[in-house]
Structure 1
């Protein structure tokens, strides 16, 4: 399983939001570029950046994100504000490894289908779920789609992955969220990345054994110290690799 450290940007700062509320950010007083480099230095294979300003059409973080892409040394998966094929193409030209689309898939699915064909393995579908339905526009609007129906609508499109976020996980039973991710991972053709279910190493331990889940996004827990990245990366290694490392350390 691949661990994706998550940096969420608002007005050039690293933040964590409760249920997408940009008016109540928890601000982390760290430099985003240096934080990204520290994740790479710790051994992360990928980095995810979510640009909350871009969701409203504000490109104030663009230079900062380009600097991270240039200097971090690992591929970057970027989400936030992708509302056109042109913007998807522009960021891929800027060197981003993958773009994440969610709202666009609900409002203009034909653009997402075209993007997936033009940039195979570089487009990720975000499925954000609240009370059993997919939500859009930074979690502000509930659609008529169930997550299963949305997956079926894109069944033949070559996505790199699908990110599943259960927004109810903030307040609900973790077992229900695990059940949702398990169900959708069994239905999706691309492998699934789970978001919002990794607050502790114990959470990651459980998620690791959910069939067809290929990765986990971890944000707040890495900033508040609930999870140490090096420990988490060691935990999600394949068992054979961990055993080999253990034997090597004993020699």
Structure 2
């Protein structure tokens, strides 16, 4: 299972949101570039970056993200406000290993299909769920399609994976229920699923590793708050070797 240490950027700063509320960001007083480089130095092969200014439609953190891409050994997966094909192409051209698309995939699925065909294994679908409904526009609007049908409509598209977020999990209670939501969707798709919002402790990493079709998890706030140590999470996420028979 892949651990994706996650950085959310707003006005060039590392932040965390509560239930996606852009106006209620908690600021982490760390240098974003040094943070990403530190994640890579600790062994992360992948890092997820969300541009919250792009989500809000109020500019972007493009210069900072490009510097992260060019100065960090880890592959960078970028999400947030990718609502046109040109935006996705721009990020890939700048070196993004993967681009995460949510709202555009709901509103213009043919565009996303074409992007995935042109860039196989570089387009990731974002499936954001709140109280059982598929959410778009940065978690602000409920879509008409149910999450399972939305996922099914992309079964034949060469996606790199699917990020599933249960927005209710941001509250922090009923983690078993939230994990059940994500594992249920993971069982309904052939694409590898990346869980988001389910890791608050190292034990959560251990549990996720054994859920079928969960290929990875995004870990953000828990790393910044020091509730989870990245090196420990990376070690826990490694495949457990099968026991070997000893012959006389």
The alpha carbon displacement at 1:108 in A equals: 1.2
Q: Is the 8 A contact 2:5 2:218 kept in 1?
A: yes
The alpha carbon displacement at 1:205 in A equals: 1.0
Measured in 1, the distance between the counterparts of 2:53 and 2:63 equals 13
Matches within 5 A, 1:19-98: 19-98=19-98
- Residue 126 of structure 1 corresponds to 126
The alpha carbon displacement at 1:155 in A equals: 1.4
**1:108 and 2:124 matched:** no
| Residue range with higher mean Cα deviation, 179-188 or 52-61 | 52-61
RMSD: 1.3
Measured in 1, the distance between the counterparts of 2:62 and 2:19 equals 24
The alpha carbon displacement at 1:60 in A equals: 3.6
- Residue 221 of structure 1 corresponds to 222
Q: Which runs of 5+ in 2 are unaligned?
A: 244-248
1:72-116 Cα distance to aligned partner (Å, 9 max, x none): 111100001111111111111100000000011111111111111
SS at match of 1:134: strand
SS at match of 1:149: helix
Q: Which runs of 5+ in 1 are unaligned?
A: 244-251
- Residue 232 of structure 2 corresponds to 231
Q: Is the 8 A contact 2:51 2:60 kept in 1?
A: no
- Residue 158 of structure 1 corresponds to 158
Measured in 1, the distance between the counterparts of 2:94 and 2:59 equals 14
- Residue 246 of structure 1 corresponds to none
Measured in 2, the distance between the counterparts of 1:56 and 1:23 equals 10
- Residue 202 of structure 1 corresponds to 203
| Residue range with higher mean Cα deviation, 48-57 or 29-38 | 48-57
The alpha carbon displacement at 1:144 in A equals: 1.7
1:189-237 Cα distance to aligned partner (Å, 9 max, x none): 1100000000101111111100110000000000000000011111111
Measured in 1, the distance between the counterparts of 2:93 and 2:61 equals 17
The alpha carbon displacement at 1:57 in A equals: 2.9
The alpha carbon displacement at 1:185 in A equals: 1.0
If the length of structure 2 is used for normalisation, what is the TM-score? 0.95
Measured in 2, the distance between the counterparts of 1:60 and 1:123 equals 20
The alpha carbon displacement at 1:58 in A equals: 3.2
- Residue 212 of structure 1 corresponds to 213
CA shift in 2, pair 1:60/1:212, >3 Å: closer
- Residue 180 of structure 1 corresponds to 181
1:111-132 Cα distance to aligned partner (Å, 9 max, x none): 1111111110000000000010
| More helix by percentage | 1
Measured in 1, the distance between the counterparts of 2:48 and 2:225 equals 17
| Residue range with higher mean Cα deviation, 147-156 or 5-14 | 147-156
Measured in 2, the distance between the counterparts of 1:156 and 1:170 equals 31
